[in-house]
Amino acid sequence: MGNKNIMICLESLDVGGVETAVFNQTIAFVEYGHKVIILAKKGIYTELLKEKGIICIDFSFELGNNFFQEKIDKIIELINKYKINEVHINQFPCILSVVPACMISNVPYIAYSHVGIEGVYEWYETTFNLYEDIFTFFFKNAYKIIAITESAKSNIINRFSINGDKIIVKNNGFNFSTINEIEAKPVDRINNMLIISRITCEKEISIKNAIDLFIEYWKKHKDVKLTIIGDGELKENIEEYIKSTGVSNCINMIGQKTMYYNI
């Protein structure tokens, strides 16, 4: 495989699972000799990536029921400027601007599905009805599709009638060289559970589902605790949901954390 000029698109380079996965993937791409350009809002990873010579362009993707011509034109300009060979679309808000730019520029794109919990596709489709059609178009026209789990792959195949041959299951990678070695210990029973997530509209259903799963486990093991790390515009909404469960004393929301936190 020859070296490529790769454009990676996501909402931001701030705290988050997708963001961390992209950070680690980007470093790996560079180590393999590829040149990477990232389109995303600035975040905690921006300067770290720039220190490694990676071009990070502050770019805001919009959500709505229409395509965004001004942003499409800008992406086409960047594709031409940096002679992009391949585009990686990591998050669904990017679709409405990036997919048209790729098709106009005749540049292949790779579609990512980081969806591991039910409800995410439904949120987009009910909030912005354009996504009822655009999801199928997005996956059908992708050069390849990366799904983080087998269940995510099955979801794409069954929901959007996509040929499974073009879907690659690839778990999100983690760079273990960045942390100290730890000893794995067998666990007889779970004492602490942890949710790490942006607390935003598209994550609401997933977070509530995770809280419900915790409550089912709590019914059998009353000493278990749940910690939620993250922040966003729906923080108060989730706090109210926790109060409604009747087990709020076992659930702790601690906001955004960027360093190790002992639960």
The tens digit of pLDDT for each residue in 210-251 reads 999 999 999 999 999 999 998 888 899 999 999 998 888 999
Query: For the purposes of burial, counting CB atoms within 10 Å of the CB of 243, is it exposed (0-12), middle (13-18) or buried (19 or more)?
Result: exposed
> Measured between alpha carbons, how far is 177 from 160 in angstroms, rounded to an integer?
38
Angle 43-90-80 from CA coordinates, rounded to 5°: 85
Show the tokens assigned to 89: 């679309």
Q: Sheet containing 225-229: which strands, arranged edge to edge?
A: 192-196, 225-229, 251-255
> Measured between alpha carbons, how far is 181 from 193 in angstroms, rounded to an integer?
22
Number of H helices, E strands in the chain: 9, 10
Show the tokens assigned to 37: 């350009």
How crowded is residue 28: how many other Cβ atoms within 10 Å of its Cβ? 13
Q: Can you list the residues of the chain whose pLDDT is less than 70?
A: 1, 116-118, 172-187, 258-263
Contact (Cβ atoms closer than 8 angstroms) between residue 96 and residue 68: yes
In this prediction, residue 94 carries a pLDDT of 97
> Measured between alpha carbons, how far is 23 from 163 in angstroms, rounded to an integer?
29
In this prediction, residue 118 carries a pLDDT of 65
How crowded is residue 198: how many other Cβ atoms within 10 Å of its Cβ? 22
Domains with residue ranges and CATH for the chain = 5-176 (3.40.50.2000), 192-255 (3.40.50.2000)
Show the tokens assigned to 28: 């790996």
In this prediction, residue 238 carries a pLDDT of 93
Q: Which residues pair with 196 in a beta bridge?
A: 229
In this prediction, residue 35 carries a pLDDT of 96
Question: What are the helix (H) ranges across the chain?
Answer: 17-31, 46-50, 69-81, 95-105, 120-127, 131-140, 150-160, 204-218, 235-245
| E strand or H helix that includes residue 196 | strand 192-196
